[in-house]
A = this chain, B = another copy of it.
Amino acid sequence: MADASLNALIEALRRLPGVGVKSASRMAFHLLQHDREGAQHLAQALQQATTRVRHCSLCNTFTEQEVCPTCLDPQRDATKLCVVETPADQAAVERTAAYRGRYFVLMGKLSPLDGIGPRDIGLAKLFERALDGVVQEVILATNFTAEGEATAHVIGETLKQRGLKVTRLARGVPAGSELEYVDLGTIAHALVDRR
């Protein structure tokens, strides 16, 4: 396929996570042959999201506002702060309906092997948030992977030293798994049994 625009499209699609050259070619072919409207739509959505979406000043999740709807919700218990790695993990906890406190979304996890340290995820912002004087308990809901556990450990040690109550999701969640893929019942149970 010697076409410049087509090759550029395939290369651009390859930057998506989990997309190799074969998948990228199939996607480009599909869009150009069967769904040009979808391609235009995706172009606009990308443009709009990259210009509009920023981080909530309180919980760090993606939002178009200065403060996200979850943080603005007055019904939520401001004394509890649940720390998760990603918005998808937050959504998983929300779906259990077993938690009505606030959140902090790290947008990543500590990963020394990948060169991801405390400054690359929102740890300073989290500490500031957790030590606002209102939060009394921080619930660590990072994934039960090696990196998620290490991240929970670092956060937990720091916040305990500052006098906060720190709990961790109970080990009802199978070790080595990622929250996003865990069934609701298990997450709900782990929330109740947090230690």
Report A's interface with B, CB cutoff 8 A: 1-6, 8-9, 11-13, 15-18, 22-23, 25-33, 35-36, 38-50, 52-53, 61-64, 68-70, 86-88, 90-91, 107-108, 180
Contact = CB atoms under 8 A, between A and B. Distances in A.
A48 B8 contact: yes
A33 B3 contact: no
Contact of A29 (B26, B30, B86): B86
Contact of A17 (B8, B26, B46): B26
A53 B6 contact: yes
Nearest to A18: B23
Contacts of A29: 86-88
A38 B17 CA distance: 11
Contacts of A38: 12, 15-16
A63 B3 contact: yes
B2 A70 contact: yes
B25 A12 contact: no
The 5 A-B pairs with the shortest beta carbon distances in the complex, nearest first, are: A12-B45, A43-B46, A12-B42, A15-B38, A9-B49
Given A16-B27, A29-B87, 7 more contacts: A2-B69, A12-B45, A17-B30, A18-B26, A42-B42, A42-B43, A43-B46
A45 B36 CA distance: 12
A47 to B, nearest CB: 5
B46 A50 contact: no
A151 to B, nearest CB: 16
A50 B36 contact: yes
